[in-house]
Amino acid sequence: MLEAPIQAQGKSNLVSAIFIFGDSTADPGNNNYMKTPFKSNFLPYGKDFLNHLPTGRFTNGMLANDFIARYVGVKEYVPPYLDQSLSIEELKTGVSFASAGSGFDPLTPTISNVISLSKQLEHFKEYQEKMEAAIGKEKTQNLINEALFLVSAGTNDFVVNYNTLPIRRKNYTLSAYTDFLLQHVQLFLQELLDQGARKIGMVGLPPMGCLPIVITLHSDNAFSKRDCIDFYSSIARDYNSKLQNKLNVMQIGFAKLGSRIAYMDIYGPLMDMILGYKYGFEKANYGCCGTGLMEAAFLCNPNSYVCSNASKYVFWDSIHPTEITYYLISQAFQPKIDSITK
């Protein structure tokens, strides 16, 4: 069994920088600067991070994107764009614009007052202006063209929005809502392309029915029988299938511009860990923090019970993976990263 913290083996000069968009799976602390309950800038979050520092990452240590940044050889950790203390040199090698609680549906980020995907794009444009002022327009454009872009969102659209609130369900069947989201995915990716992105990785949805909080909320007896709720995982499978088809079609147009876009499968690797207890995990249906049934964000706090060894758990809280899980996911992504960066 691998123990955290873990070092990822780096490759040099695969890309110029790394830029991240999405939700809590990709937010290293942007929500620290927002008035929202979706924060994690307090212990026990970050207890296994450098200097045991809670940064705003929704896990005990590093995110998959931090490991990926090391793998492509650009930096040790991906910082949040909204951190005003970042130097030009730090900005130059990439940042995350992601915001916990966000999603592709414009309604989703308004539920928890977080940064929408469209606002994340605005921040990226603002970033480019900063870089142009510092290093010039041509160097900035080259930087963007040679950078790796990763997008990870969608879970909140279903778990927090569609399946919890009645607004979208009144107007969309589940299949129609999936198509609605994918239209927004396409628009988002097209905007990235228009802004100069040429190497894009698009992360699919995880097996949502296996998130501890979903098991807790949708089981007849969540204390004794904690099986994955396949209905919610089937939503993810359908979405992922349609997403792959859409990306294949988009790639035809992308290729004409010398761009590459790849589907990053998180569903399969996570399912291997959850159902097969692959890699020696001992707990897959409870989080490490608190009871492991419901705690996330402010419910997982300095007063919460914390398991003695997070590396034996797939999930850190009731929603988010542990650092070791993120490390293994980042490893699973490496062949796709190679395919768009080489």
Tens-digit pLDDT profile for residues 90-145: 999 999 999 999 999 999 999 999 999 999 999 999 999 999 999 999 999 999 99
Does position 72 have pLDDT exceeding 70, yes or no? yes
CA distance 99 to 126: 16
> What is the model's pLDDT at position 7?
52
Residues 6+ apart with CB under 8 A from 39: 31, 32, 56, 100, 297, 298
> What is the model's pLDDT at position 223?
75
**Can you say how many angstroms the Cα of residue 31 is from the centroid of all Cα atoms in its chain?**
14
Does position 5 have pLDDT exceeding 90, yes or no? no
- Give tens-digit pLDDT for 280-314: 899 999 999 999 999 999 999 999 999 999 999 99
Does position 179 have pLDDT exceeding 70, yes or no? yes
> What is the model's pLDDT at position 296?
95
Does position 88 have pLDDT exceeding 90, yes or no? yes
DSSP string, 209-265: GGSHHHHHHH-TTTTT-----HHHHHHHHHHHHHHHHHHHHHHHHHHTTT-EEEEE-
Does position 341 have pLDDT exceeding 50, yes or no? yes
Does position 3 have pLDDT exceeding 90, yes or no? no
Residue 337: name the closest of 23, 152, 92, 72 by CA. Answer: 72
Residue 32 sits at φ, ψ, to 5 deg, of -60, -25
**DSSP state, 10?**
P
239-248: buried (b, 16+ CB within 10 Å) or exposed (e) per residue? bbebbeebbe
Question: What is the band of 25 on the pLDDT scale with cuts at 50, 70, 90?
Answer: very high
> What is the model's pLDDT at position 299?
96
CA distance 286 to 329: 19
Question: What is the band of 276 on the pLDDT scale with cuts at 50, 70, 90?
Answer: confident
Residue 326: name the closest of 2, 10, 20 by CA. Answer: 2
pLDDT-wise least confident of 135-149, 190-204, 247-261? 247-261
**DSSP state, 289?**
B
Between 220 and 87, the higher pLDDT residue: 87
> What is the model's pLDDT at position 9?
54
Domains recognised in the chain with CATH numbers: 18-207+233-280+319-341 (3.40.50.1110)
The answer to whether the predicted template modeling score (pTM) of the entire model surpasses 0.75 is: yes
Segment 157-172 shows an average pLDDT of 95
Does position 14 have pLDDT exceeding 90, yes or no? no
Between 8 and 239, the higher pLDDT residue: 239
Question: What is the band of 221 on the pLDDT scale with cuts at 50, 70, 90?
Answer: confident
The residue from 112, 317, 318, 330 that is catalytic is 317
> What is the model's pLDDT at position 130?
96
The residue from 16, 23, 24, 83 that is catalytic is 24
Instruction: List alpha helices for the chain, DSSP H.
Output: 64-71, 88-92, 108-112, 117-135, 137-145, 155-156, 166-171, 174-194, 212-218, 230-255, 267-275, 323-341
Annotated catalytic, 24? yes
Q: Is 51 left (phi over 0), alpha (psi -120 to 50) or beta?
A: left
Question: What is the band of 49 on the pLDDT scale with cuts at 50, 70, 90?
Answer: very high
Between 75 and 258, the higher pLDDT residue: 75
The residue from 66, 265, 318, 320 that is catalytic is 320
3-state secondary structure of 321: strand
Q: What percent of the chain has pLDDT over 70?
A: 96
Segment 141-158 shows an average pLDDT of 98
